[in-house]
Structure 1
């Protein structure tokens, strides 16, 4: 992703006189932008705040205004700013920029948000390792331990990012619960794979989460900056869904949180089902071995 990433069908909006918007569409024709027309500035800003688009350009006789949402993806915002600057230059007009969803003042580049990816991934792997070794073959303690650790880690990491570094600005409780759900989705999935397939299952699952799902999560860039197709895969894996849920809760008042929350809930339920199935199979094998031994 670092080598092949770039703008890919970034959804943006445009409003203004018909000729100006048509000229903008022709100038940005290609695979980088996906432009939608809006009637006026109000419709344009509402679309940005509702996360329908990452930004929009308003062309008026008084000048060109760019409405952006840096928290939706700083790379996409930078590319959009460059595009709007070029439009303003062609119009011989002044460019005005309004950021409708910025990162907090204490962390204007979103460094803390981007750095949350690894703690979240390790937060799912570490408890799975510990619980698998502490409670071998015991389904109940693993489920309870995974839930307790996920809640503790989710609330602790959110507290550090929001109150310690000032990297998040949303409702603390909603953000913490969302991050806890992401950690639980990872932990339960890995616990389930270990219960069903043993150490090889856990190893393959952990490797996929670290080496595939984490780079495709779009934590730092947003999904629209990833290579085509891979971004869609990344958003249905726990790290990508966790990043989208954290972004929605921390910067957009929960707008767009339903989809990733359902993805994470699905992974958590799948992991719990695998864990229960593995426990039952192990119990049957042990029951079958006892009479044979006697």
Structure 2
């Protein structure tokens, strides 16, 4: 009767790297809890600070009327809200209205004693339209003012709540998709392909919800779907690119930039001109803000003003692809 040979003993290096037994050390527990608390504080500040500091700051507004009336309005605005409005004289009501349609200004005040009128564009920012309507009523001593809205809010979403509420899910969708691809898909080329598939499927789906179901957008459906797809591609590829060159630290940095910083500064619930100082420019340079700005342009203005935001999104998408290529080349030179 033969006996089985004894099993070989495991190599010493395996035993040396075996997982530690017993509970997690207390310093690690405290450090993890403290890190979560710090992250929560940063996230709360990022979302609450822009909301509490939203106010009109040099909002460009065309004004038409007798010189004495224009100067009186200017003095009244500077006394009641210094620096709130940037009044720009226009030749006549037609020119003032054209300036609003061309997105050179946010609105116009026509100081006609017989028929005072305020020209607004609600889809450029409902908060600004309401502000200008109030300013026009104050300028005329409380008398009735005719409101001419060149880009009225959607009938199914008069407060613009759909786009404001949709900005965060769009940012999270692109960012979380990038995290999932980075952690579960091997190969930078395959990760890029996954991000593009996400964008091509997610854009039309989001347009179907915001335009077709909720009625929060009123422009050309295909143009809106294209903007949403480009926005998702910019977000996901940007985060993936950072992960490709900086690992999990880059993944965390990308998510923090897109969600914790980009979404509060997107001005989806107000307008960039109402954000503090240079934060408005930073918000428009990030994918969430550029996506919202491009959607407003194609929904309410037939694409006028969309070139800048679309360029920002294209740069983010191309930059993400470039970083993925750099990460792939570095991996070929130094394989794990």
Structure 2 length-normalised TM: 0.82
* CA-CA distance at 1:65 after TM superposition: 0.5
Residue 56 (1) aligns with residue 108 (2): yes
* CA-CA distance at 1:151 after TM superposition: 1.6
* CA-CA distance at 1:130 after TM superposition: 2.2
Residue 47 (1) aligns with residue 96 (2): no
1:10-58 Cα offsets, whole Å, 9 max, x none, are 1111012222112112222331111111111111111111111111110
Give the secondary structure class of the aligned counterpart of 1:216: helix
Give the secondary structure class of the aligned counterpart of 2:246: helix
Of 152-161 and 122-131, more deviation after overlay is shown by 122-131
Kindly report the root-mean-square deviation, in angstroms, between the aligned alpha carbons of the 2 structures.
1.3
Residue number in structure 2 paired with 1:70: 122
Match of 1:198 among 236, 247, 262: 247
* CA-CA distance at 1:61 after TM superposition: 3.0
Q: 5+ unaligned residues in a row in structure 1: which ranges?
A: 290-294
Match of 1:79 among 128, 131, 152: 131
Residue 115 (1) aligns with residue 176 (2): no
Give the secondary structure class of the aligned counterpart of 1:56: strand
Residue number in structure 2 paired with 1:273: 322
Q: 5+ unaligned residues in a row in structure 2: which ranges?
A: 1-49
Residue number in structure 2 paired with 1:145: 194
1:96-144 Cα offsets, whole Å, 9 max, x none, are 11111111111111111111211210121122122213322x1221111
Q: Distance in 2 between matches of 1:209 and 1:135?
A: 21
Contact 1:242–1:264 (Cα < 8 Å) also in 2 = yes
Q: Distance in 1 between matches of 2:137 and 2:72?
A: 14
> Aligned pairs, how many?
284
Match of 2:62 among 13, 26, 51: 13
Contact 1:15–1:21 (Cα < 8 Å) also in 2 = yes
Structure 1 length-normalised TM: 0.93
Residue number in structure 2 paired with 1:282: 331
Match of 2:176 among 110, 116, 126: 126
* CA-CA distance at 1:250 after TM superposition: 1.1
Q: Distance in 1 between matches of 2:176 and 2:260?
A: 16
